[in-house]
Amino acid sequence: MEKSTSDNLIRIARESGDEEQGEPLNLGQRVRELRKARDWTLEQAAKQAGLARSTLSKIENGQMSPTYEALKKLAVGLEISVPQLFTPPQKDQVTGRMTVTKQGEGTPYLTTTYEHKLLSDTLTKKKMMPYHARIRARSMDEFDGWVRHDGEEFLYVLTGVVRLFTEFYEPVEMRRGDSAYYDGTMGHNVISISEEDATLLWVTSLV
């Protein structure tokens, strides 16, 4: 991404609007909602999580604060991650949003150094922006300085070999299956060092 490309891509993916402040989470209510969404009784949910029925009841009623071990059991039983216990859907409902991008689909966005294909671009107000990228650049000289943008970024090498340059770390050579997660405000650039253009899956956070 050239110096302004990341900002442009993020601007394309974002929709304007005021950010909403979430209300303090009621863990017991959250657990109860997750259980009822699965149409489970207390007994069924407790068995699924490997907890005593009385323990689960106290958690739901706010009569006890679960240990981290109990939280992990709850998450496993409910088939979610621990952080998801603390991140209820906005507007207290599951939106069920979904989009599928088939092979060869996606919105192209070309630059002199990268060839992007935006994925899932039909969804608005996304929290992250996934895109497929073909790395044309072969030298840092092809970039007009560091790429910087808001948010965090995840990079996964699909084909070829790349070298990831960052502002505060030594360059890293990465091959198929290698990945990196980094702060987008830190200067970064990627070049292909294989004979063919390398391809990546990039995911950038939008919040």
pTM score, whole prediction: 0.59
Q: How far, in Å, CA of 132 to CA of 167, rounded? A: 23
pLDDT, tens only, 137-151: 999 999 989 998 888
Rg for the chain, CA atoms, rounded: 22
CA-based nearest residue to 134, from 167, 158, 153, 104: 158
Give me the pLDDT at residue 12, please. 59
pLDDT, tens only, 148-196: 888 899 999 999 999 999 999 999 999 999 999 999 999 999 999 999 9
Average per-residue pLDDT for the chain: 84
